[in-house]
Amino acid sequence: MPSSSSSSSSSSSISMKIIRALNLFRNKTKSRNDHANDNVLLQTITPTLPDHILMEEILPRLPVKHLITFKLVSKQWNHAISSYTFAKSHLKFAYLLDQFFLINPRSNLFCDWDHFFYLLRYNESSSVNELVGIDVSVSFMFPTLVGCCNGLVCFTYQKDRTSCFCLWNPATRKCRDISNPGGVMFALAYGFGYVSSIDDYKIFSSFGSKTDQFPAFFVFSWKEGRWRSINGLDEDVGNHLLLNSVWIDDTLFWPPNPSSESIVGFNFVSEKLEVYPMMIWSSCVYLGMDLYRLDGCLALFGHKDDEASDFWVLKKHDDWSSWKKSFTVNLRNVSLINFSETGKCLVRHSDQLKLVDVCKEALERVRGDFNFSPMVKTGNYIESLISPYGTTMSDEEELD
């Protein structure tokens, strides 16, 4: 049986590791944190810390890799850190740590394709050689990114000639395979997001065979762990949805397709498809239109034949007349890939990936010689402890 002195020494060692980890966090986020409050917090740390200080004030501020290590301290710590309550508490601080683009190349021309997914930190300038490849713990054939939210990654893949989905947490290496709701079906359009009002992550997908005239609509609930058929939707509208969607304020938005100039949205609260009215941008002659999330707002990107492109932003999400043209840029030979949470855009210039201010002058300085945009899908990613298996699943149950 260990002596009291060895037990005290072990406790002191653990506390010192926590202090060093917290100091590392403070140094990385010192420009965004309240130093006075942190100094008061550090002064309370002693070799024997009260449990509530550890679990409520210190551990939630640490990176996931440290927390996974600390789960080995004891069964009590493992149970506490593995809980959904702790994961939610940790999520409040996760956005103060490193943020990334999760990149899903669709062609090996974009980079040396050794992995299906890569991480890239929000740096002002990076090389494609700095992409960090990450692997899913289960083997999948050519997965396609659907979306990222609070550390969870959703992707779709083909299995036995059907479209299946997966929820994956790259930080904890946990992966939840989600089978097809039934039948030989292909995912025709989809999206993924978090509904804060009910604390649930949801996947929307329309399914159908290549010969079916009308699709079937389903929503998968992370909390309930099952698909549910959604009836009463406009099948003609749903049949013309594109694959890619943008998630904003409980709603998935799809860009106008070649046969329509209207944006279509599916709200996860009302569970209805809505065709939004054509606004002033519909009178412009665009070869194509894409949707982005820019500073929390819906943004429409219209491509013109003269190589000048327009950005329109919906200033108020509940006022469809609040569309305003933000700027016009010349994107000749520039690969616009995505926007960061800070409003800067990720562009490809030769072998460089750069975050630049969204203005004509900035984009012209990083002109490239090839358009890589169609070859990659991206999402904004943070590391979290949110489990793909829902709110009540323990580690042992996940492994089973």
Q: How far apart are CA 233 and CA 263, in angstroms?
A: 16
In a domain, 86, yes or no: yes
User: For residue 33, what are the domain limits?
Assistant: 4-95
Is pLDDT above 80 for 295?
yes
What is the arithmetic mean of pLDDT over 63-75?
Answer: 90
Is pLDDT above 60 for 46?
no
Q: How far apart are CA 66 and CA 64, in angstroms?
A: 5
In a domain, 248, yes or no: no
Low-confidence winner among 66-70, 128-132, 266-270, 329-333 (lowest mean pLDDT): 329-333
Q: How far apart are CA 245 and CA 247, in angstroms?
A: 7
Residue 294: which H helix or E strand, with range?
Answer: strand 288-294
Cβ proximity of 400 and 364 under 8 Å: no
In a domain, 283, yes or no: no
Q: How far apart are CA 100 and CA 121, in angstroms?
A: 4
Phi and psi for 294 in degrees, rounded to 5? -130, 115
Beta bridge partners of 289: 302
* Strand, coil or helix: 345: strand
* pLDDT tens digits for range 218-251: 999 999 999 999 988 887 787 778 777 999 989 9
Contacts 24+ apart (CB under 8 A), 45-53: 45/15, 45/18, 45/19, 46/15, 47/8, 47/11, 47/12, 47/15, 47/16, 48/8, 48/11, 48/12, 48/15, 49/15, 49/18
* Total domain count, the chain: 1
In a domain, 181, yes or no: no
In a domain, 256, yes or no: no
Q: How far apart are CA 175 and CA 157, in angstroms?
A: 14
Cβ proximity of 206 and 241 under 8 Å: yes
* pLDDT tens digits for range 141-198: 788 999 999 999 999 998 888 889 999 999 999 999 998 887 668 888 999 999 999 9
In a domain, 71, yes or no: yes
In a domain, 358, yes or no: no
What is the arithmetic mean of pLDDT over 301-322?
Answer: 82
Please give the structure tokens belonging to residue 275.
């065709």
In a domain, 9, yes or no: yes
Q: How far apart are CA 376 and CA 26, in angstroms?
A: 34
Residue 122 one-letter amino acid? Y
> Is residue 242 classed exposed, middle or buried when 0-12, 13-18 and 19+ CB atoms within 10 A define those classes?
middle
pLDDT > 90 fraction of the chain, expressed in percent and rounded: 31
